[in-house]
Structure 1
Amino acid sequence: MVLQRNSTITMSGHANPKSRVILSADWLQESISTQANIDGYFSLRFSTPVAGGPYSMVINDGVDKKVLQNILIGEVWICSGQSNMEFPIRGDWAKLMDADQIVASMHHPALRLIQIKNTTSLAPLDDAAVEYGWIESSPSAASFSAIGYLYGTMLQDSLNMPVGIIDATWGGTDIEAWTPQKSLRNVPEIKNINRLL
């Protein structure tokens, strides 16, 4: 994965109920910890350094241990929207001009890609289903957003640092589906929709 550089990250998850959850990472001088609640939910906040890596991170609740490796620190961008953003480099319904050449040149180890699966929910979700998650850019990601991929390579070339691109797109969706319900309730012009929320 890629984490945003020079930032404060909130990492939440589930551990054994009421356990002490300890997070350590190569770039942190000291481990940080918190206590999981009665349902096992925990949340930790930590800082990230300037761009670099690869790093490792360990999350341990005394019973289970999760080791995350090959973490890069750099720029993270989300590409979201309808079919113009969803348009793949090469897919079953569309492809870029010269797609075969672009796909053949997709080997960029410091460009990481994650593609979110189309999922509906009337409430915010704790986790996202993925088509594939945090992979190094390679020809296996040919179905990725063309704009997202090309923008990621442009950022990487101009900033000379790791880049992570999140592809969260769904062609034909209404803007209301991407807008928090709280915000929609404050728009009088769509009061008929608001009754459904």
Structure 2
Amino acid sequence: MLKRAMLLTSGLFIAVANMAVAAAVDSAAKFRIANVIQSNMVVQQNKPLRIWGTAPAGDVIELQADWTGKTTIATADANGKWLGEIKVPGTTRGNFTPHTITIIHKDNQPLIGKFIEPHTIDLNLKKKKNDIVKLTNILIGDVWVASGQSNMEMRMATVPGWGTGVKDFEKELRLANYPAIRLYKEEMGIEFTPQDTIKGEKWEACTPKSAAGFSGVAYYFGRELFNRLQIPIGLVGAAIPATAAQAFTDINILLADTALKKKYVDPYSKAVDSIQA
């Protein structure tokens, strides 16, 4: 009886411990992929592709790109963040082969115990599961970020009360069918620190409809590159009206230069201090 009681107590401890862990896991990060990593995107040739996201601490994420034939392993850290890199080869003129990236999330959490009736414990109620995400129609080429103020933000088409669009925009948009040019437009917003996620639209092929709301400068730039290079081109629109170059510059770079610090950082810090005083 004593031995049986000890075993029951031990089992009770394990079950309660597992339930405590499960409760902690439930409140931790859920499996998520950074929202800029999507189907239909263009990835930069000859540079590692970084894919990141969140998951419960200790969970394993497998990254498989069809162009490598290999699996990259990432593990969620104590803060629930994970990051993996996939090697990306160079592309060649006229190569518009669509690719697939498979992301597999493997649940690495302990089994959860449960009381069924007095003195009975079931430790096999939770089955581990895998989440599988397939990103398709991905192209390998060159990716450009189009950032700046109003002249970069000005869209191809007319926006009532805001802008008149580019010259002859109706004619230009009728010709804007480029399946190998992909567009991603970030929503306007300001953050003072690097962000893990951003608000934006979906990656999509350049069509008259998708180009209409995109930056005119970026569109013409991307079209010219495509016509000359004949490789996939990815364009990320991230412009905000009335912003200056220093607003897009890393604060540490501004601080490291005496002239830039005096010109931009010191007045800003002084203004912030006066508001907070």
Cα RMSD after superposing both structures: 1.6
In 2, the alpha carbon distance for the partners of 1:168 and 1:188 equals: 27
Aligned match for 1:106, one of 176, 193, 203? 176
Structure 1 residue 177: Cα displacement: 2.0
Which one is further off, 174-183 or 147-156? 174-183
* Equivalent position amino acid for 2:149 in 1: Q
1:86-144 per-position Cα deviation (integer Å, ceiling 9, x unaligned): 111113122111100111111111000011111111221111111x2211001122010
Asked if 1:188 is matched to 2:228, the reply is no
Structure 1 consecutive aligned stretches of length 4 or more whose deviation exceeds 3 Å: 194-197
Q: Unaligned regions of 5+ residues in structure 2, if any?
A: 1-40, 107-129
Identity between Structure 1 and Structure 2 (%): 28
Q: How many residues align?
A: 196
Aligned match for 1:137, one of 206, 220, 226? 206
Which one is further off, 33-42 or 174-183? 174-183
Asked if 1:87 is matched to 2:154, the reply is yes
Q: Please state whether the residue corresponding to 1:48 is helix, strand or coil.
A: coil
Q: Please state whether the residue corresponding to 2:247 is helix, strand or coil.
A: helix
* Equivalent position amino acid for 1:133 in 2: K
* Equivalent position amino acid for 1:56 in 2: T
Structure 1 residue 184: Cα displacement: 2.8
Question: What is residue 123 of structure 1 aligned with on the other side?
Answer: 193
Question: What is residue 236 of structure 2 aligned with on the other side?
Answer: 166
In 2, the alpha carbon distance for the partners of 1:127 and 1:162 equals: 24
Structure 1 length as normaliser, TM-score? 0.93
1:159-192 per-position Cα deviation (integer Å, ceiling 9, x unaligned): 0111001111111113332122222333222312
In 2, the alpha carbon distance for the partners of 1:25 and 1:175 equals: 36
Aligned match for 1:27, one of 59, 63, 67? 67
Decide which structure has greater strand share.
Answer: 1
In 2, the alpha carbon distance for the partners of 1:175 and 1:113 equals: 23
Bigger radius of gyration: 2
In 2, the alpha carbon distance for the partners of 1:49 and 1:184 equals: 34
Structure 1 residue 25: Cα displacement: 0.8
Asked whether the equivalents of residues 59 and 67 of structure 1 are also in contact (C-alpha less than 8 Å), the reply is yes
* Equivalent position amino acid for 1:6 in 2: N
Question: What is residue 14 of structure 1 aligned with on the other side?
Answer: 54
Question: What is residue 18 of structure 2 aligned with on the other side?
Answer: none
In 1, the alpha carbon distance for the partners of 2:173 and 2:55 equals: 40
1:66-85 per-position Cα deviation (integer Å, ceiling 9, x unaligned): 11000000011111101111
In 1, the alpha carbon distance for the partners of 2:191 and 2:233 equals: 29
In 2, the alpha carbon distance for the partners of 1:40 and 1:28 equals: 27
Q: Unaligned regions of 5+ residues in structure 1, if any?
A: none
Asked whether the equivalents of residues 16 and 61 of structure 1 are also in contact (C-alpha less than 8 Å), the reply is no
Decide which structure has greater helix share.
Answer: 2
Structure 2 length as normaliser, TM-score? 0.67
Which one is further off, 148-157 or 43-52? 43-52
* Equivalent position amino acid for 2:180 in 1: A
Higher RCO structure (Cα 8 Å, ≥6 apart): 1
Question: What is residue 13 of structure 2 aligned with on the other side?
Answer: none
Asked whether the equivalents of residues 155 and 165 of structure 2 are also in contact (C-alpha less than 8 Å), the reply is yes
Q: Please state whether the residue corresponding to 2:202 is helix, strand or coil.
A: strand
Question: What is residue 24 of structure 2 aligned with on the other side?
Answer: none
